[in-house]
Amino acid sequence: MPVYLYYGEDTYSLNQKIDQLVNQNVYPDWKAFNYVRLSGNEKNIAANVFTEVMTLPFGEGSKIVHVDSEYLIGSLSNEDNLDLDNQLSQIPSNSILLITGNNKPDSRRAVVKTILKYAQQEEFPLVPSWDKKGIINLIGKYAAAHQVKLTPDVTHYLVEAIGNNTARAKSEFALLAIYADGKTLELEEVSQLVSNNNTDYSELTIAMLRNHPNLAIMQISKLLDNNEHPLKIVATLTSIFRIWLITKAGLEAKLAENKIAEIAELKNPKRLHYLKDEVKYVAVQKLKNSLTTLVQLETELKTGTHSLTSRIIEICTV
């Protein structure tokens, strides 16, 4: 099939699939000519896409014309649908139109229906970070693929340590497979090989939220010992406190849950159930003050003032 539509938030798996498609169809010696990536900065993007895909490949193998769905589909109107149908039906057998994006195109649109008529589509969804069962399945899938035998406590540790990060899951299990060499891995061994920064972040934010400075200092030390950059720590904390503030303020304003999820930019609104529990006993003012302090901390770090620990303590005491 000469048209492929790939979409989803698991960008690592999506990019792996793109590489696979290119390697299977484009000869390495001719890749510079036969793999064409078009960006949204180009004028008349749709016209350029079909000019390229109708042009025969150089040398051996097939040609792939790769474009982002937002740029191609966004540039098309319903009036273009008839021309689109004709163009898609005439793509040469040795040319491939590859359309990719983070989101599934709106299938209610006529042009999208036409593309779907010709396209082989595949979705690459990212398991939500709160979906423990989904992450357990993800860890199990990578363990099976690399033939790594895990005990239940090791599986639990890896679920917390790796989370829904598919790129990290692949690299960590490649390492674990070499180390295990067919043996069942024990928790002590795995914890030495795979660092667990996710749990450290979780415990840090809860310590800050519940005003436990000693625990917060301990978690900051762990993150720094694991080579987490202070600016990355602050960026992560800022994102979490922003979502907490929006959630708490939205609940107090009696906004609809779908509206709170929209404002907080939650990719999965079901996460709101967990957020409501986390901020249940926290005042809006504490969240506001904490977010203000984190913004000040970011500025201080960027100007050479090493105030990470003192600012974290400050947030724990407001």
pLDDT at 198: 66
pLDDT at 143: 93
Q: Do 277 and 168 belong together in one domain?
A: no
Q: Which residue has the higher pLDDT, 274 or 40?
A: 274
DSSP the chain: --EEEEE-S-HHHHHHHHHHHHHHHS-GGGHHHHEEEE-TTSTTHHHHHHHHHHSPPSSSS-EEEEEEHHHHHHT--GGGHHHHHHHHHT--TTEEEEEEESS---TTSHHHHHHHHHEEEEE-PPPPTT-HHHHHHHHHHHHHHTT-EE-HHHHHHHHHHHTT-HHHHHHHHHHHHHHHTTSEEPHHHHHHHS--HHHHHHHHHHHHHTT-HHHHHHHHHHHHHTT--HHHHHHHHHHHHHHHHHHHHHHHTT--HHHHHHHTT-SSGGGHHHHHHHTTT--HHHHHHHHHHHHHHHHHHHTT---HHHHHHHHHT-
pLDDT at 180: 87
Residue 65 belongs to domain with CATH number? 3.40.50.300
pLDDT at 200: 67
The residue among 123, 156, 172 that closes a domain is 123
Q: Do 305 and 243 belong together in one domain?
A: yes
Q: Do 203 and 285 belong together in one domain?
A: yes
Residue 243 belongs to domain with CATH number? 1.20.272.10
Q: Which residue has the higher pLDDT, 74 or 217?
A: 217
Task: Look up the pTM and report it.
Answer: 0.62
Domain ranges, residue 25: 3-123
Q: Do 141 and 99 belong together in one domain?
A: no
Instruction: Please report which confidence band the pLDDT of residue 41 belongs to, taking 50, 70 and 90 as the band edges.
Output: low
pLDDT in tens, 226-236: 777 888 889 88
Instruction: Please report which confidence band the pLDDT of residue 1 belongs to, taking 50, 70 and 90 as the band edges.
Output: low
Instruction: Please report which confidence band the pLDDT of residue 271 belongs to, taking 50, 70 and 90 as the band edges.
Output: confident
Residue 187 belongs to domain with CATH number? 1.10.8
The residue among 100, 123, 146 that closes a domain is 123
pLDDT at 43: 66
Q: Do 299 and 207 belong together in one domain?
A: yes
Q: Do 60 and 102 belong together in one domain?
A: yes
The residue among 193, 217, 244 that closes a domain is 193
Q: Do 119 and 24 belong together in one domain?
A: yes
- The domain tally of the chain equals 3
Mean per-residue pLDDT over the chain, rounded:
88
Is 269 a residue whose pLDDT tops 80?
no
Q: Do 213 and 309 belong together in one domain?
A: yes
